[in-house]
Amino acid sequence: MTAPVFVVDTLAPGEPGGGEYVLDGPEGRHAVSVKRLRPGEAVVLTDGRGRWTEGVVSAAEGKDRLVVGELAPVREEPGERPRVTVVQALPKGDRGEVAVETMTEVGVDAIVPWAASRCVTQWRGDRGLKALAKWRATAREAGKQSRRVRFPEVADAATTKEVAALLAGADFAGVLHESGDAPLAGAELPEAGEIVLVVGPEGGVSPEELARFAEAGARPYRLGRTVLRTSTAGTAATAALLTRTGRWGV
């Protein structure tokens, strides 16, 4: 799939093709004024939840209205297996958006913001809601850029207790930490189910958090000899996992 992707509100599974769709608002403006699409070019429309269709531009009107015709029947892409969830500790500044953007591009399925004890940044009140909205908007834009039709879910910020519960229910649970005596690249992974991986903050995962996660069945793993930033570790780890699950081999 190489055609540019645009997000629409809803697509009904099994909806027959041959119709027409008018893309307006921010998506229409991006298509007409930024991408400068013209009649005859192919586009993909998706709801970001796995449903998608493709069509051909029949008209570009004004600065924010794109008419797409020759629509194919709506298809639904199943969720990937195994499903990969990254628990991302809250980084400083805009590094959170960097982490979300690159993890989306490599193929992570869900992102859980985590208020770790050593996080400098804390999401409280309106500031937390605004930060979460930025993460979700970043996932949406990165999903479009990387030609995905099923965007990663970005959950509400989780406490350590909630992360431990998530790990306890996973088919594979791991924590990226320099104390790990086993490389993530050699871990035994499930063919299906849920993989949950924890990425700590700049100050690292505390001993108390490591102990709690160990009780939940999560083992510490290392990526290599170097220590990555919290904003890049999740992306590198997801890439390492996907090459071994076969999801990158098709």
Query: Quick one: average pLDDT of 170-197?
Result: 92
Closest CA to 107 of 207, 6, 244, 214: 244
pLDDT at residue number 244:
87
Give the global pTM.
Answer: 0.92
Query: Of all residues in the chain, what percent carry a pLDDT higher than 90?
Result: 79
Q: Name the more confident of 248 and 182.
A: 182
Query: Of all residues in the chain, what percent carry a pLDDT higher than 70?
Result: 97
Query: Quick one: average pLDDT of 225-248?
Result: 89
Q: Indicate the average pLDDT of the chain.
A: 92
Count Cβ atoms below 10 Å from residue 19 Cβ, excluding itself: 12
Q: Is 86 helix (H, G, I), strand (E, B) or coil?
A: strand
Q: At residue 250, does pLDDT exceed 60?
A: no
First CA to last CA distance, the chain = 13
The pair of structure tokens assigned to 219 is 């083992």
Query: Quick one: average pLDDT of 152-165?
Result: 97
Q: At residue 165, does pLDDT exceed 80?
A: yes
Give yes or no for a contact between 57 and 38, defined as CB atoms under 8 angstroms apart. Answer: yes
Q: At residue 174, does pLDDT exceed 80?
A: yes
Q: Of the segments 118-132, 154-168, 177-191, 223-237, which one has the largest average pLDDT value? A: 154-168
For the stretch 63-112, pLDDT in tens is 999 999 999 999 999 999 999 999 999 999 899 999 999 999 999 999 99
For the stretch 25-74, pLDDT in tens is 999 999 999 999 999 999 999 999 999 999 999 999 989 999 999 999 99
Cα–Cα distance, 232 to 205 (Å, whole number): 16
- Confidence at 207, pLDDT banded by 50, 70, 90: very high
Instruction: List 153's β-bridge partners, or say none.
Output: 110
Q: At residue 16, does pLDDT exceed 80?
A: no
Cα–Cα distance, 93 to 206 (Å, whole number): 21
Q: List Cα–Cα distances, 211 to 114, 144, 173, 193, in angstroms.
A: 16, 38, 14, 24
> Which residue reads 């298809």 in tokens?
75
